[in-house]
Structure 1
Amino acid sequence: MDYFLFLMRTVWFAFNGYAIFSSTIGSEKWILLLWASCSYILPHLFYRPRLIKFQYYLMAEVLLTGSLFIYLSSQYDISVTYSFLLVPILTLAYACQVKPLIWLGPFAVLASTWAGSLFTNQDFFKLFIDTTIFYGIGFCLGRMTIVNKANKELIASIEEKNKDLEYYAKKIEELTIKEERNRVSQDLHDTVGHIFTSVITSLDALPFLYQADQKEAEKSIKEISDLARNGLNDVRKTIHHMSSTDHQTLVESVKELIADFMKHTSTDIQLNVEGEATKVSERVKLAIIRCIQEGLTNAKRHGQATFIKVNISFEQEELIVLIEDNGNGCNELNLGFGLRSMKDRISALAGTVNFDSKLNNGMRITCNIPMAKEV
């Protein structure tokens, strides 16, 4: 639009320059042409595409164009004299779109109409209509430009936000995939480790049992086979994001887990439940089961424990799970994949895990999970 107004002003200058050239004589003709050229060029020093200094443009327009109009109207009988003001008024209306500049519009319309009727002896009402029309065109063009600019800025802002959303969506997708991979790997580690610990322990005892009692050994072999099948089903359920204990409460699932582990590893496990067994979400239940499963497996496989104590305490604000064994223990504990997975599971629930181990004094695992965040 700025380029359009620039072109219109150029046509306006050519038209009025020709009128001045054909209606004047002598050296004054060149003076007036120079004056008209200044009224065309100087305002555009302050109002041109991509550069607007409105206060200086207004001063140049009033001083040069206004004074030239008054001089021509008072000295010459030029039929197009008043049209000399119409394009500057249109440009003025286009530029005056914000307060307090917007109040210059009505003043400019009245002032130019009064000057036109005073110096050209034309009807005031007719001049007022012409001036108002050009001012209205310029004002509407200005509003259209502002709205168009605002729309472009809004579109640019939306495109930028869309790019940000696409970036964050991609990051979230990557994090979700990574978290799901970690979850599946943790489930597989806990499930497979638990199963194989039970199977290996049973197989190690099988030769001695076979020598002592052949029928009991055959029974044990069948139990080991059933354990492997159940473990395979558990792995499949884990892969397919299923839970084998959805129908059970947390305490029932833990009891079943402990009973199965005691049966196949000959480990003495004591379970204590304190407080009212509050129903917890599937996410919390699965995390606790996996943690207890890893705690039992770690105690038997690495600590060679013969006695394990599991304590579940339902308190008002948190759920506390304690796993304590009489295994070998160690002074410097290095977290392997299983213990790190346990810590990640509890941290995902805004909880904490503490590991305490001493050489020849077993290991103590304490999990604290806020109840209010998940129940």
Structure 2
Amino acid sequence: MNERALRNGHHAIRHEELTSRQEALRYILEERRRLARDLHDGVVQDLAYANMQLKALCSDTTLDERALRKEVARITEVLDQCYDALRHAMYDLTFHADADLVAFVARYLKEFQARTGIAVAFHHEGVPAQTDPYVNNQLAKVLQEALANVRKHADARNVRVALTYQGTTRQLRLVVADDGKGFVPPEATADNAVENHPDRRENARCTAPFGEEPHRHFGMRTMRERCQLLGGTLQVTSAPGAGTEVTVDIPL
């Protein structure tokens, strides 16, 4: 009996180790696919555009100096965005949260405030001292992307971050709210499209832009995909002039 129990125990341990390795491999593959998709949809397209515009400038002999400077400035702005996106991608590859999620978020927010000058208020309540590393990493990257949107697009002076855990529902909630310029969320744009064209329901949900900036909706899509990997949800509440609030709910 003891021998059988021992064998069963060994089998259980091996199964748990195999499951952990499979989860780790799945995580790595998902990250690679996401990174490849983001680079293709963002940086690669922008570099192709900049290359095309530079070739057009080289062959255009009709532009005066003022018009030429304007075109070069526009292309330089695109290349600057590519540089920022690549730096973000490189950081993303080495960005991993600790087992202590609260301590990690507190450190990251302190660095964000020092780097950007945007004031950050952090509140946490009831979060377990040790949470699943996979959940921590995905949630931390959602936070990273949300704050990147604040920095790039919101023109905000303050941002509020809350991390809370509801023991009764076993839900971990992350809220990122800023006092910036706000925007029309993709859900609102999609709903308007659906009202006028009910047959476009699916396309409206997929193609609605994330604000006015052409790159912002890529970050939104990435955040939503990360939440879906965890079986959670993401909600964006915003309006022009009213700031933006991102709410993430993840089951533990």
Give the TM bin, normalised by the shorter chain: 0.5 to 0.7
Q: Which residue does the alignment assign to 1:235?
A: 90
Q: Which residue does the alignment assign to 1:271?
A: 122
| 3-state SS of paired residue (2:154) | coil
Deviation at 1:235, TM superposition (A): 2.3
Q: Which residue does the alignment assign to 1:284?
A: 135
1:281-307 CA distance string (max 9 Å, x none): 111111111111111110121111110
> How do residues 1-375 of structure 1 correspond to structure 2 at under 5 angstroms?
179-185=30-36, 235=90, 238=93, 243-246=95-98, 249-316=100-167, 317-333=170-186, 334-335=209-210, 336-371=217-252
Q: Which residue does the alignment assign to 1:216?
A: none
Tell me, which stretches of 5 or more residues in structure 1 are unaligned?
Answer: 1-174, 193-230
Structure (1/2) with the larger helix percentage: 1
1:31-80 CA distance string (max 9 Å, x none): xxxxxxxxxxxxxxxxxxxxxxxxxxxxxxxxxxxxxxxxxxxxxxxxxx
Deviation at 1:249, TM superposition (A): 1.2
Structure (1/2) with the larger strand percentage: 2
| 3-state SS of paired residue (1:327) | coil
What is the distance in 2 between the residues matched to 1:298 and 1:320? Answer: 19
| 3-state SS of paired residue (1:359) | coil
CA contact (8 A) 1:234 1:244 kept: no
Report which of the two structures shows the higher radius of gyration computed on alpha carbons. 1
Tell me, which stretches of 5 or more residues in structure 2 are unaligned?
Answer: 1-25, 44-85, 187-208, 211-216
What is the distance in 2 between the residues matched to 1:303 and 1:233? Answer: 18
RMSD across aligned positions (CA): 3.3
| Structure possessing the higher relative contact order (Cα contacts under 8 Å, 6 or more residues apart) | 2
Aligned length: 154
| 3-state SS of paired residue (1:343) | helix
| 3-state SS of paired residue (1:346) | helix
